[in-house]
Amino acid sequence: MDINYLHRELITTEDGSSSLKLLDVEEQYHSIHGARNESLHIYINAGLKYWSDKAEVHILEAGFGTGLNALLTLQQKSSQVIHYETIEAFPLSMEEVVMLNYISNMDEESKRKYYAMHACMADKIIRMNEHFYFRKRIDDIRKVALPESQYDLVYFDMFSPDIQPDLWSESVFQKVYRSLKNSGILVTYCAKGDVKRALKAVGFELESLPGPQGKREITRAIKR
C-alpha cells in the first residue's frame, strides 16, 4: 500500500500533549498514552541521561517529526554541550507546527528556538545557545550517508516496523552502528523480536528496559 506520509492530523494524547496521526494507516507519531511522557521516558531518561557524566554529547535522531525529542533535549538544564543532528524525510508544514502545544507555556525565546529548528531546512548548523548545536537534514535514512564513529547516542524514532519494515532492517542498523562511537547507544520505543534480532545481527548488545505508560518494554542497544 502506498502511504501518504503528509496526510496527517493533529491529536491530543493522554498526558495532554499533542501528536500527529497518519490518516492512511493506524499510526501515530507518539504513544496515545502520552507523547511528552513517552519522549521523556525513552529518549531523555534512557538515552541522554545515560551520558549525564559526559561534557559533550553527539546525538543523531532518525525522524525529527514534531521536534518533541529535540525540544526536550534542548530544555535539559545542564552544562553539557549537545550536538544534535536529525534526519527527516517528510517535514511538517509550519501550519502543522503551530498547532502543536509543546511550547504554549514557554517563554518567547524558547518558542523562537523551536520554530527555528522546524524552519531549518538547509542542512546548516544552528547554534541555539552555548550548549546546543542543531542540524537537520531533509533526507531518507535509508539513503543518507552517515559519518563513521561520530555519535554517542541515537534516538531511533521511526514509524513502526509494521508500517515501514525496511527502516528497521539490518542495512539501516549497520549504517547506524558504524556511525556510533565505541560504547555508543541507540534507544528506541520498539521491542519487537524481529527488530531486536536485526540489531543483534549487526553487532549491538541489547538491554530491555521498562517502557512508559502503555508499553511493557523499550530497547537500548549498545555498540561494544
Ligand X SMILES: C[S@@+](CC[C@H](N)C(=O)[O-])C[C@H]1O[C@@H](n2cnc3c(N)ncnc32)[C@H](O)[C@@H]1O
Binding residues for ligand X, rule: CB under 6 A, are: 5, 29, 63-66, 68-69, 87-90, 140-142, 157-159, 164, 167
Question: Between 47 and 63, whose beta carbon lies closer to ligand X?
Answer: 63
Question: Between 152 and 157, whose beta carbon lies closer to ligand X?
Answer: 157
Q: Which three cell numbers stand for residue 163?
A: 508500517
Closest CA relative to residue 133, chosen from 176, 181, 80, 90: 80
Question: Between 143 and 224, whose beta carbon lies closer to ligand X?
Answer: 143
Distance CA 222, CA 32 (A): 28
Q: How far is the CB of 67 from ligand X (least distance, A)?
A: 7
Question: Between 182 and 199, whose beta carbon lies closer to ligand X?
Answer: 199
* DSSP-based three-state secondary structure for 158: coil
Q: How far is the CB of 204 from ligand X (least distance, A)?
A: 20
Q: How far is the CB of 172 from ligand X (least distance, A)?
A: 9
Q: Which three cell numbers stand for residue 116?
A: 527555528
Distance CA 209, CA 15 (A): 21
Q: How far is the CB of 71 from ligand X (least distance, A)?
A: 9
Distance CA 39, CA 69 (A): 6
8 Å CB contact between 27 and 21: yes
